[in-house]
Each structure stands twice: as structure tokens, then as C-alpha cells.
Chain A
Amino acid sequence: MTAVETTPFRSRRRSPAWLRGPALVGVITLVLWVLVAVTLPWWSPSDPLEQVADRLLGPSFSHLMGTDALGRDVFVRALWGARISLPVAAIVIVSSVMIGTIVGAIAGFFGGWIDSVLMRAVDITMAFPPILLAMAITASLGPGIGNALIAMVLVWWPIYARLLRAQVIAVKQREYVESAHAIGASRWLILRRYILPMSYTPVLVNATMDFGQVVLLTASLSFIGLGARPPSPEWGAMITEGATNFYQWWIAAAAGIAIFLVVLAFNFVGDGLRDTFDVKDLGDIKDRN
């Protein structure tokens, strides 16, 4: 006769994925950047647009990333760049999501010719490599950060339109939507209350990752000369300056590192969000009897 022991293992409770490991680092980084961007005017060591020292000095204790061709503190300029890139990215993403959601939801929900027409527009827009289209639009409207913003929204919204449409179509077919229909809920109500709430998860994950990509695109457009114009301390424009002053590596490096940190942080957080909402990683259950 053997006595039987009950399970001696503690189950491991894990904190939500988006707060663990790299995602946590990402969140902290982003919070820091936002804080810096918001409060900078109060404590900035120097004016990003004014000459504060001799030109083209290397990094030192007084000027952490040296000075540029006009004698401005590079490190400070890099910090100020956040005040351009972050809000721009936010506006682009929010606008794209809104426009894309409306278009995609309508297309997916109502189907028929509305769907066809809207999706044609989406397909055509998505037929271009994004940067070329953004370049063309910005060039037409005239170089400048505002026009670059408009161009980016025009390029970005179709992604969300497609995403939403797919989600709406998937959710539409589920039974609880049919029941809602059966009890006489209006179509708008169904759309708002049932379908949209179920669709936001992939949008959230995508939007977070896209934030980083928009920052990159903004910098790219500025690098080409189509986005922010000098003397604006936008990161892409700074890298252009850095390319001109090739041997003064710190000018480009400051902006490059800034971009890298921000985009990396967004990627981490996006990854973490995706892990939270996706159930792929279940550990070692190989369950067959």
C-alpha cells in the first residue's frame, strides 16, 4: 500500500507580459522621453537654436555631445528633437487609426459596393512603397514638417483600414452578433458596442509598433530634406548635418542614438503587448495521454 502525495509544486504566477523584461525597459524609456520632452523648456541647459560655444567641438563635460557647425550644443538639440518627433508621431498614428478604423469598419460591416470602393482606395494607396508616396506628397505640398505629417497620415491610414476590416468581418460572423441582431439592436449599436471593442487588440499592438516606424519615417523624410527644415532640431535633419560634417561623428551620433532609443523602446513595448494578447508561448505542456 503506497500513500499518495498531492502536488508539491507552486504554480508560477507571471506578471503580464507587457510589464516584464524588455517591455518594462521600453515603458520606462518612453515615460522618460515624454517627461523630458514635456518639461524641457524649463530646465534645458541651453537654447537649441543659439550658438553657445565654439563650433564643431568634440564631446566634453560641458557639452556632452559636442557642438555642431553653428556652435549649438548637440546633446541639447537631440533632447529638443523629441518635442518634434514624439508629437508628430502621435498625431500621425492617432489620425491614421481613426480614419482607418472608420473606413475599415464601414467597409467590413456593410460589405457590398461600399466595401469594394473603399478597398480599392486602400489597395491603390498600399500599392506604393510608403516612402516614395510620402516623398511625392510632401514634395507636392511643399517641404515642411506639417506637410510631411499630412503625407504620412495619407500613407498610413490604409494599414489600419485593412486591419479593422478584417477584424470586423471576423467578429461579425460570431453568434453573439447574430443574437444582438435578432433582438433588434440597430446596426450602428452593434458596430459600436460589440464589434469595435473586440477589434482593438491588434490595433493596439500594431499602433505601438508603428509609432516607432513613424518616428523613423519622419526622420527619413527630414533627412532627405522634405520634412523639418533647419534650424529645427529634428533628428533626421540633424543627421543630414552630420553627413555634411562627416568627420564630426558626434553630430549624427546624438540624433541617431536618440532615434534608436525611442524606436527600440516602442518595439519592446509592442513586442510585450503582442505577447500579452497572444497565447503562443505556453511552456512545456506536451499533453497527450
Chain B
Amino acid sequence: MPLLLLGIATIVFVVSRLTPADPLVSIVGERNLNNPEVVAAAKQRWGLDESLPVQYAQYMKNLMQGDMGTSFTTRKPVFDDLVDRLPATLELTATAMVIGLVFGIGLGVLAARNRNRFIDHIARFFALIGSSLPAFWAGLLLLYVFYARLGWLPGPGRLDPRATAPDEITGFYTVDALLHGDFGGLRAALAHLILPASVLGWGVVGIVSRLVRASLLDEFSMEYVRVARAMGLRERTVVNSHALRNALLPTITIVAFTFAFLLTGAVLTETVFSWPGVGSYAVESSRNLDFPAIIGVTILGGFAFLMTNLVTDVIYAFADPRIRLT
């Protein structure tokens, strides 16, 4: 595992340094490229005058201490930038995950119980659309319909431009508003949250519902389900108390996968909805060729992904009594 992390950091470093594009452009600006003093100063300041191996060593050393360098564009430590923007992304992805799981599992159960009937086909269709529709376009479309045309929901951003965020406790606007007893603020935050979270969550609903349906159908063909039915248990009990427990186990393993999916989607969704999170930070950095920032975000992404895998394994071990060490 630590080897993996090392590998991640190395890859990212390599990737960022093999650029034919000149990062100096974004640092000093086009005009100053001809000014040797400015260029030399910039090179020294950003460590770009050292040889590559030295740069690598320096970079790794810094990384160990949690220093990801300073962003070319914001002039702040990348680490700080990330910490600043993380809560926004977490709030978005967490909500999307909840939406995705709740509706996904519900839909999957419905589809499995009504196999090959109307609702099964609807669920399948829904899932297919979710994975075929470009999320960023869907976001635009929904914004257009619900905000521009119908005016039901507020526009992009976490809050109205005129509003102020609740005092920061967790960085989650919804939670913070709640903790302050500010129900108006809570409503505003939720209203802004619902559209991007739904767009993000839609894909999850698709994946989860298909998996739950397939797993449930697998369980239905298991002997213990037949036994449960033979013992006269109500179908609802058979599904919820017996089959679902088993069917949800593979769903847990998919949590890691959906997380990657959410991160991917977050990048695009945040851009569309002007959501000030890590995803839009990644996009801005890429556009500006802000390499420390790009490195930082990518490492964060890799790290988060690894963590999720680990956590998933642990949760799975807990959930399946056959695996627990007695």
C-alpha cells in the first residue's frame, strides 16, 4: 500500500514534468518571457532551475511533510487550496451518494420483485439512460429547464451571489446552517444542492439498481430462499429480511467504484454548476497549466480512491459473518 502511494506520487510527478508546454508562461506571463531577470527569479523561486532528479527529491521530501507546493494561480499552498475546497465537494458527493443509494436500492428491489414486468423495464431503461447521458449536458439541460425556464430552483453556485455562507463549523453549508438553527439558510443551501446532487446521483442510481437487481435475482435462486418460502414467510419478509441482506454484500464492494464514478462526475458537475469544490479546482488548474495544483489534485484523487478501497474491504468484512475472524 505505501508502495502504491509512492507510485502514485511518482507517476504524477513524471506526468507533470514531461510537458512540452512551458509552465513559466503561466507564472510570469507572456510579456515577461523575454526578461531574463524575471525568468531567472521565477525559476529559482519555483525550483525550476534544478535538475530533474533534484526536483523529484525535493518534491518527495515536501510531499512527506504534506507540502504540495504552491499554486501558480492562487499563490497559496496547494494543500490549503484543497482543504478549502474539499467540504464543498464532499457535501455534493455525499448527497449524491445518498440519493444514489436510496433510489438505487429501492429501484433494484422493485425491479427484481417484478421481474420482466413494466417496472423492471423502466428501471433498466433509467439505468441505461443514466450511463449514456453525458452528465455535464444533463446538468446544463436541467439548469435550463428548472432555473432559466421554470424558475423553480436557484441557479449555479452553492448560494445566491448576494447571500453569505453560514459561519463555518464543518464547511458543509447544510450542516452548518442546521447547527446554527438557520432554517432559511438550510433551505437555500439545499435548494442549491439538489440539482447538482441529482445529476451526479443519477449515474449511481443506474449502477446500483442494476447490481441490486442482479444480486437479488441470484439470491432468489438460492436454496435458502426456497426454504423460506416453503416455511410460509411473506414475500416481503423473504426479500427484505433474507435475500436483501445477502444481495447487498456485492453492493458494498461497488461503493469504491461508485466513489470513483462520483469523483469523475464531480469534476464535470462542479464546472457546470460553478460549484467551488475540488473538481472545478482541477479543471481550472488544468486550463491554467498550474502544475503544482494539478499534481496536488491528482494525488488527492488517487489517495482518496485508495482509501475508499480500503474502507470498503473493512466494511465488507464486517458485513459478511462468514469472513469475520472468530
A: which residues have CB within 8 A of B? 120, 123-125, 127-133, 135-142, 212, 216, 219-220, 223-226, 236, 239, 242-243, 246-247, 249, 252-253, 255-256, 259-260, 263-264, 267-268, 271
Contacts and interface: CB of A to CB of B under 8 A. Distances in A.
A253 B138 CA distance: 10
B53 to A, nearest CB: 18
B305 A127 contact: yes
A256 B16 CA distance: 32
B15 A142 contact: no
Given A128-B8, A129-B263, A139 B289 contact: yes
A88 to B, nearest CB: 15
Give the residue among A129, A226, A243, A268 with the most B Cβ atoms within 10 A: A129
A260 B20 contact: no
Given A136-B16, A139-B286, A140-B19, A127 B140 contact: no
B108 to A, nearest CB: 16
A139 B133 CA distance: 25
Interface in B290-316: 291, 294-295, 297-298, 301-302, 305-306
A50 to B, nearest CB: 25
B92 interface: no
A127 B309 CA distance: 10
B72 to A, nearest CB: 12
B267 A142 contact: no
A132 B129 contact: no
Contacts, number: 146
A130 to B, nearest CB: 6
Contact of A139 (B144, B260, B263, B294): B294
A137 B282 CA distance: 12
Given A226-B286, A256-B137, A263-B132, A131 B18 contact: no
A249 B21 CA distance: 35
Nearest first, the 3 A-B pairs at minimum CB distance are: A256-B137, A124-B7, A264-B132
Given A127-B302, A142-B19, A223-B271, A264 B286 contact: no
A269 B56 CA distance: 46
Contacts of B63: none
A124 B4 contact: yes
Contacts of B133: 256, 260, 263
Interface in B140-161: 140-141, 143-144, 148
23 contacts: A123-B7, A129-B302, A129-B305, A131-B263, A131-B267, A131-B268, A132-B282, A132-B301, A135-B282, A139-B19, A139-B285, A140-B21, A141-B21, A142-B21, A224-B286, A243-B140, A246-B143, A255-B137, A256-B138, A259-B134, A260-B132, A260-B134, A263-B134
A139 B298 CA distance: 12
A212 B132 contact: yes
Given A123-B7, A225-B283, 7 more contacts: A124-B8, A129-B305, A131-B264, A135-B282, A135-B283, A138-B286, A267-B132
Interface of B: 3-4, 7-8, 11-12, 15-21, 128-129, 131-134, 136-138, 140-141, 143-144, 148, 260, 263-264, 267-268, 271-272, 282-283, 285-287, 289, 291, 294-295, 297-298, 301-302, 305-306
Nearest to B283: A224
A242 B140 contact: yes
A142 B22 CA distance: 10
B7 A247 contact: no
A127 B4 contact: yes
A127 B298 contact: no
Given A132-B297, A256-B137, A127 B306 contact: yes
B282 A267 contact: no
Nearest to B136: A223
